[in-house]
């Protein structure tokens, strides 16, 4: 199947079901543009104290190993937490963290982080020396993101994650300013089949033809975006 068609169909499926596989029923009935209540946000803030060690204050991680969560879509975050809890997304770190949390706890955490200010990771465009040294990598990453690699069968990321990698409501998360190390690890996980909690395994299809350099380039480029 054409990968762009796969991406499009996957987006429709994700929009209709809220996810893929056994975990999808848990988010049925919730719309991707659902907004959390102030009570949820307050409850989530209290729960987030145990998350700050990895994800930082207000969900802005100082470690490249852990993603920034601040400002991500509420339902997207909720679905990821559900997937960690029910095993649809594997993580030896996150699984025990969410094991004892109730469904409402997960919603509250997602609510809190979704309402926090997005703070991008330090990127290549903030360091002139690094930018010059890795100009080729940035150029390749930009090309992959915006145009894909036709000869290699790599789909353009912009088709799903939008202009400037700002994401599209719920279906596809914002990637701009996310830690490059974390992004690269996730792309590799999708490529190897270690992560597959997206609809129709879209990301596995996208990542499979990507080389190590392709992965590093697009991750580095995404981190540089604001």
Residue 99, judged by CB atoms within 10 A of its CB (0-12, 13-18, 19+), counts as exposed
- What is the average per-residue pLDDT within 93-116? 96
- What is the average per-residue pLDDT within 99-128? 85
| Domain termination site, one of 88, 114, 140 | 114
User: Looking at the domain assignment, is residue 144 inside a domain?
Assistant: yes
Mean pLDDT of the chain: 84
pLDDT at 70 over 80: yes
Is the model more confident about 112 or about 21?
Answer: 112
- What is the average per-residue pLDDT within 77-84? 95
Q: Are residues 104 and 79 in the same domain?
A: yes
User: Looking at the domain assignment, is residue 40 inside a domain?
Assistant: yes
Residue 28's pLDDT band (boundaries 50, 70, 90)? low
Residue 198, domain extent: 124-224
Q: Are residues 40 and 91 in the same domain?
A: yes
Helix (H) / strand (E) element for 219: namely helix 212-224
**What are 154's strand-pairing partners?**
149
| Domain termination site, one of 114, 147, 177 | 114
Distance, in Å, from the CA atom of 52 to the CA atom of 173, rounded to the nearest integer, reads 21
**What are 168's strand-pairing partners?**
172
Distance, in Å, from the CA atom of 182 to the CA atom of 200, rounded to the nearest integer, reads 22
Q: Are residues 141 and 78 in the same domain?
A: no
Q: Are residues 184 and 158 in the same domain?
A: yes
Question: pTM score, two decimals?
Answer: 0.83
User: Looking at the domain assignment, is residue 119 inside a domain?
Assistant: no
Q: Are residues 190 and 102 in the same domain?
A: no
- What is the average per-residue pLDDT within 93-108? 96
Q: Are residues 144 and 170 in the same domain?
A: yes
pLDDT at 5 over 70: no
Q: What is the count of structural domains for the chain?
A: 2
């Amino acid at each position: 199947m054409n990968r762009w068609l796969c991406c499009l169909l996957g987006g429709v499926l994700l929009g209709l079901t809220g996810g893929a596989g056994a975990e999808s029923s848990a988010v049925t009935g919730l719309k991707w543009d659902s907004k959390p209540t102030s009570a949820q946000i307050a409850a989530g803030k209290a729960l987030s104290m145990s998350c700050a060690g990895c994800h930082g204050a207000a969900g802005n991680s100082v470690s490249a190993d852990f993603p920034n969560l601040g400002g991500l879509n509420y339902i997207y975050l909720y679905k990821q937490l559900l997937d960690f809890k029910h095993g649809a997304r594997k993580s030896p770190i996150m699984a025990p963290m969410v094991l004892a949390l109730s469904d409402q706890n997960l919603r509250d955490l997602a609510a809190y982080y979704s309402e926090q200010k997005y703070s991008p990771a330090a990127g290549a465009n903030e360091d002139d020396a690094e930018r010059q040294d890795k100009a080729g990598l940035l150029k390749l990453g930009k090309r992959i993101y915006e145009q894909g690699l036709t000869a290699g069968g790599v789909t353009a990321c912009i088709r799903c994650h939008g202009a400037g990698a700002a994401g599209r409501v719920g279906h596809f998360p914002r990637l701009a300013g996310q830690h490059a190390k974390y992004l690269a690890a996730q792309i590799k996980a999708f490529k190897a089949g270690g992560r597959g909690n997206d609809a129709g395994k879209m990301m596995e299809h996208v990542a499979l033809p990507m080389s190590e350099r392709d992965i590093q380039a697009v991750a580095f480029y995404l981190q540089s975006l604001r």
